[in-house]
Structure 1
Amino acid sequence: MNCEQIKEKISIRRVLESFNLFPVKQNSETAFYFAIDREEKSPSLCVDFAQNKAFDFGTGKSYDVISIVQQLSKCSVSNALQYLEKFDTSVQSTNKSILESNKNYEILEVKEIEHLALAEYLKSRKVFDQKHLVKEIHYQMKGKNYFGVGFYNNAGGIEIRNKYSKICLGKKDITLIKNELNLKNEICVFEGFFDFLTYLNLPNVQISNSDYLILNSTAMFFKAEKQLTQYDKIVLFLDNDLSGSILAEKIVDKYENVEDCSILYEDCKDLNEWLVKYVNW
């Protein structure tokens, strides 16, 4: 196998486990580990199992399975490849399980929001006025039919949300929305699309004329790093949790003129929860 095949076929989770490294916090797609190059009290290494990559929010370094071994063993690429030879690639790697399950789907219908359950769901999140920015997606997975509110990312993948599920159909990616009236060269950054819809539903937002970046996961930040350097001001609306706080700190340290607005909803997990909890309209 060549290097690219090794990076794809050998699970980064299994490589980390071989060094007795395990996640401190995780969900179905990502996990946070303590940094592999220093001691720390809060985990800053974000591992994306679907992409089979890791990103250190403390240093800005990105890792694949080869560079992970290089860092942990302090060795050359050739020695890292020798170490990786012991890993079995004849079976599907753990990191691909999410992607493979998502390949087993078919989009049945895409249309404007019509289903009563989805309309009520958007109303419960107080973003029904922004329904034109999302779609009603009907899809089939493992022989069963489902539907949900869909939001497209830059790679054509669809973030699906309803009252009971939170998944991505297709490739995970960021969503960058350009605004021709963005004279201030400003960008607002959100973790999820419901926070983006929430922001647009706030009073006086229509006059802000910013570009909008929806990460769709903090693990996708590496795809936006270079693009953010183009802006004169960055306004953050990230979640008030571990991954959101770590990323916010990273962005504040790395870029100039950054405004962290999470303090506005500091007693809530995110902007949408604040809207639902405190705003009555």
Structure 2
Amino acid sequence: MNCRHFNTIPLEEVLVSLGHHPTKQNEKEAWYLNPFSTETQASFKLNKRNNVWYLHSEGIGGNNIDFMMKYLKASVKEVLEWAEKQNFSSFQSQKDYHSKSSSLNYHITEIKELQNENLKIYLQQRGLSPTVYSLVKEVHFAIGEKKLYAIGFENLSGGWELRNSLYKGSLLKKDISILNFNIESQNQNETGKRIAVFEGFLDALSFVEMKPFFKGDVLVMNSISLLNRTKEYLQNYSEIHLFLDNDKAGEICKNEILKSFPEAKNHSEIYALHKDLNEYFVFRNNTKIEKQQQVELNPKQEQEESEINQAHQTYRRKR
């Protein structure tokens, strides 16, 4: 992807992928709360026809590249590297129905337990087993006239992070997500002791698979724009473990959190050769399968694998 290609992608779709939705809009323009900081009155204006933006509160504006450079605090090269990983091809394939609607209408039509086989296959492709099915939902939604479905992960404000093999986005209000594990086995003084922090929910689900006996909370940021919200929540914990992405945005988040919480532990070196924990998890699983095809596990290893597979996690999602 080059600058010209990235700038042709509707900024409206880039904003949706980051969890930002307009407070008001018409066929020519849309207004958003400042994506770069907190505000109560929308000052970010998107010109839909020219695909450019202007932030009235700061007197600056530009195209997609300019927006992401400021959003990620990154160079042009780093922005393009980020864009390559976002699967924006899904937005291009949806261009036909976006053009039919002057005012995009995003809404959820149904939420239910995970049943769709295509979504289950997608989770399997990401290295995840039925162990994590209870932590997600199957969400059916519409964007304009297009009906879609995806794996849904709920946040504290009732919004949803959505993923399938072709779509990556969110609906309703953007917020962090929190999971409690084995809360029944902790006393009141221990509930706020330990927390593991992730950027995306697929990384968090990978962690759940890798650490079936983890006791504590799991925080999913869902967007780097929620860094301040994340830091506010982390004040309740004395033991913080970071599993953030190995890219520019992840580096920014890690450094900012470590600046506020010097005792926090960074674990990104575990998957230093990979973009994120899920990518490492998939690689590790594939490597394990290859080894198992060549050499049988010894009895002790078989017993350990059996114990892990039989482990049942109890959890409660905080509201």
Q: TM-score range by the shorter chain?
A: 0.5 to 0.7
1: distance between equivalents of 2:164 and 2:177?
19
State the partner residue of 2:159.
157
Report Cα offsets for 1:216-260 as digits up to 9, x if no partner: 011111112222112111100100000101110111121132110
Which residues of structure 1 form unaligned runs of 5+? 35-41, 44-99
Q: Secondary structure at the match of 1:136?
A: strand
The verdict on how the C-alpha distance between 1:101 and 1:264 changes in structure 2, with shifts beyond 3 A counting, is farther
Q: Secondary structure at the match of 1:236?
A: strand
CA deviation after TM superposition for structure 1 residue 210, in Å: 1.4
State the partner residue of 1:194.
202
The verdict on how the C-alpha distance between 1:165 and 1:254 changes in structure 2, with shifts beyond 3 A counting, is same
1: distance between equivalents of 2:282 and 2:273?
13
2: distance between equivalents of 1:272 and 1:101?
37
The verdict on how the C-alpha distance between 1:117 and 1:223 changes in structure 2, with shifts beyond 3 A counting, is same
Cα RMSD (Å) = 3.3
Match of 2:68 among 18, 26, 35: 26
CA deviation after TM superposition for structure 1 residue 101, in Å: 9.5
State the partner residue of 2:107.
106
> Is the Cα–Cα contact under 8 Å of residues 107 and 137 in structure 1 kept in the other structure?
yes
> Is the Cα–Cα contact under 8 Å of residues 241 and 264 in structure 2 kept in the other structure?
yes
> Is the Cα–Cα contact under 8 Å of residues 72 and 248 in structure 2 kept in the other structure?
no
2: distance between equivalents of 1:20 and 1:14?
4
- Aligned-pair identity in percent equals 30
Report Cα offsets for 1:135-165 as digits up to 9, x if no partner: 1111122112111100011111111100001
In the alignment, is residue 140 of structure 1 matched against residue 142 of structure 2? yes
Report Cα offsets for 1:108-150 as digits up to 9, x if no partner: 2212211111111011111122111101111122112111100
The verdict on how the C-alpha distance between 1:10 and 1:239 changes in structure 2, with shifts beyond 3 A counting, is closer
State the aligned residue count.
Answer: 213
2: distance between equivalents of 1:20 and 1:172?
23
Residues 1-281 of structure 1: pairs in structure 2 closer than 5 A = 7-11=41-45, 14-15=54-55, 18-19=59-60, 26=68, 31-33=71-73, 104-128=105-129, 129-179=131-181, 180=183, 181=185, 183=190, 185-202=193-210, 205-279=211-285, 280=288
> Is the Cα–Cα contact under 8 Å of residues 194 and 217 in structure 2 kept in the other structure?
yes
The residue identity in structure 1 corresponding to 2:205 is: L
The verdict on how the C-alpha distance between 1:101 and 1:153 changes in structure 2, with shifts beyond 3 A counting, is farther
State the partner residue of 1:92.
none
Q: Secondary structure at the match of 1:8?
A: coil
